[in-house]
Chain A
Amino acid sequence: MTTSTRPRTLYDKLWDAHVVLDNGDGSALVYIDRQLLHEVTSPQAFDGLRLAQRQPWRLSANLAVADHNVPTTDRSVGIEDPISRAQVEALDANCAEYGITEFKMNDARQGIVHVIGPEQGATLPGMTVVCGDSHTSTHGAFGALAFGIGTSEVEHALATQTLVMKKSKNMRVTVRGQVAPGITAKDIVLAIIGRIGTAGGNGHTIEFAGEAIERLSMEGRMTVCNMAIEAGARAGLIAVDATTIAYVQNRPFSPTGEALAKAIAWWNTLQSDDGAVFDREVEIDAASIQPQVTWGTSPEMVLPVSGRVPNPANEADPVKRNSIERALHYMGIRADQPITDIAIDKVFIGSCTNSRIEDLRAAASVLRGKRIAGNVKLALAVPGSGLVKRQAESEGLDKVFIDAGFEWREPGCSMCLGMNADQLSPGERCASTSNRNFEGRQGAGGRTHLVSPAMAAAAAVAGRFVDVRHISAGN
């Protein structure tokens, strides 16, 4: 820990608190408080441990769950695809061998790794959190330094409880004022990415700040930090406040009693100091943010729902013009087409971006008493975890989805990346609450439009993109 009195950013504080050894060349050995493991990026790391006859450094720092490959339909029949099944079974076997806590596929606590960490209190303010998955940035919503790593680093963290890291730069995105009614965290973060671009945060840790961010629930904050990686930043952060501290208490892994009091005292210091210097600052006016819809094949290709698809002829930069043309072609849409003219085939409400209880409530409130449009072939609602699913069912949300024509599924990554059976067919167009609209992401040739849960529900009802505020207003 440094004793420096210069004003520090939240990132500086988290970094300083975790340096084991400073190499003096900008790199340091950084202590890792929590490692989350899933089936896709961990098998070779465990094998590496075995090969070197090493043991995990600190078992209790690890928590594992299978999420990418698991089926979202009836699980009593197991996993059909042998390669997917082998990956899940490998995780089970590795966790059993080393004694790592794992929520297995049929455990009620199973779910997407970035949903269950916070839900269990395994993600706490002030922690360093790693996982072999880029959307580990999600956990930054708690004032934790959280970032994705590769398989060799998974092994390194398992074996040493540390990583060798270079410190990144500080960036702050301030969303000033309040958003209009009906505007959600997803719209905020898509608008930010639309503004700074998918490389805007490269080499930086982004702290999200400002009144609009402070007013978000923890679920909303996780949605924002989840997509920090889509803005090019390995980690996103939001300062700790009363909302954070209220959320993290009374969860299975969170501290109690005297330890809790001590923890809260420290958590309350986890904000950037007044006068802390950021390498880059961006400000956005919250009131200007409308419901967002991506039109292209990168999260920065995003527009307000009232917008029109860009016309490459209006783009002077040949590189950008070319990428617009390619995206229009892949997405099968026309220049200048109004976003609200784009009809959809499928709807996916889920993923580590938007599968928490608040997301399901937002979608259900749009769907209540309505039906999905005739041209919508499939509408999926995939809760982020077994506990989210149970909570939603206790509120009767499953009925709302089912009555509207949605399928109500078991928790997992599902159609976010289609590693299981949930995929788009070539040419199919999907209103999706996930985080990546890359070519082929949800299935080869599939076309993804990223939206908020409420906007996805509205699109399901209308069969095309509409401003959710118009739908709600009419009923």
Chain B
Amino acid sequence: MQPFTIVTGKVAPLDRANVDTDAIIPKQYLKSIKKTGFGPFLFDDWRYLDKGDLDIDPATRRKNPDFVLNDARFAGSTVLIARENFGCGSSREHAVWALTDYGFRAVIAPGFADIFFNNSFKNGFLPLTLKAEEVDALFVESASAADFRLTIDLPAQTVSTPGGLRFSFEIDPFRKDCLIRGLDEIGLTLQHADAIRAYEARQKVSAPWLAA
């Protein structure tokens, strides 16, 4: 997993509350056999004017000019800001896969749905909680500044902007550590790689046919 330490990135403002997982990635894309490739379908119903499916090339579809991700100013954004209760709805991990595949590293909101929140950490994606008024201040600065970027300093647990805003945020220490070191569950197990190799060395002697 890509480590998450200090991320400075362009901000896409999604000024909505209760962004649900169906909105993040609609159900027809769950038939996919992949964990990647969901990026073009992120926020599909909002982003395109016609209906999409796995076998329809997104490039051939009509884009909704009013949707934030279709605005050239926000191309290449890596941080999403949104309102209350982001990620509500189903448990589909595809929602997180779609956000990361698009290129987002974090979403900042006043609150998150539980399952989405948990799924995020498994994929190196930071769901960052700020107070509602702090998020509002980010929206305000975003609206006034062209090419608005902000910096998330995970080790210091701060969010700062060129306009001088600086907020601190809370995060579970274990999760913080995993993100900073880029460790998912597999990553954690791989910290014991030496123990696994030592086991294999023992097995090679005691049960050589298994090591073949």
Contacts and interface: CB of A to CB of B under 8 A. Distances in A.
B159 to A, nearest CB: 26
Given A50-B36, A161-B196, A262 B189 contact: no
A31 B192 contact: no
A47 B209 contact: no
A82 B55 CA distance: 10
Interface string B55-89: 10000000000000000000000000000000000
Interface string B21-41: 000000000010111100000
Contacts of A1: 202
B190 interface: yes
A160 B210 contact: no
Interface string B94-120: 000000000000000000000000000
A43 B34 CA distance: 6
Interface in A36-69: 43-44, 47-48, 50-52, 54, 57-58, 60
B192 A86 contact: no
Given A29-B189, A164-B189, A83 B31 contact: yes
Contacts, number: 84
Nearest to A164: B189
A260 B36 contact: no
A392 B210 CA distance: 31
B56 to A, nearest CB: 13
Q: What band does the interface of chain B fall in when counting residues whose beta carbon is under 8 Å from A?
A: 20 to 34
A339 interface: no
B186 A255 contact: no
A156 interface: yes
Contacts of A266: 206-207
A162 B208 contact: no
Given A29-B192, A255-B209, A263-B209, A160 B186 contact: yes
A160 B184 contact: no
Interface string A78-90: 0000110011001
Contacts of A124: 209-210
Interface in B119-155: 122
A160 B190 contact: yes
B185 interface: yes
B183 to A, nearest CB: 11
B207 A263 contact: yes
Given A43-B34, A44-B35, A48-B35, A160 B189 contact: yes
B45 to A, nearest CB: 22
A33 interface: yes
- Interface of chain A: mostly helix, strand, loop or mixed: helix
A21 B34 contact: no
Interface string B178-207: 000000111101101101100110110011
A44 B33 contact: yes
A20 interface: yes
A230 interface: no
Contact of A52 (B33, B184, B200, B208): B184
Contacts of A82: 55
Nearest to A42: B33
B77 to A, nearest CB: 20
B209 A259 contact: yes
Contact of A21 (B35, B55, B190, B195): B195
Contacts of A60: 212
Given A52-B1, A160-B189, A162-B189, A126 B196 contact: no
Given A57-B196, A162-B192, 15 more contacts: A20-B199, A29-B192, A47-B36, A87-B33, A126-B207, A127-B210, A156-B185, A159-B189, A160-B196, A161-B200, A164-B185, A164-B189, A262-B207, A266-B206, A266-B207
Interface of A: 1, 20-21, 29, 31, 33, 43-44, 47-48, 50-52, 54, 57-58, 60, 82-83, 86-87, 90, 124, 126-127, 152, 155-156, 159-162, 164, 254-255, 259-260, 262-263, 266
Interface of B: 1, 31, 33-36, 55, 122, 184-187, 189-190, 192-193, 195-196, 199-200, 202-203, 206-210, 212
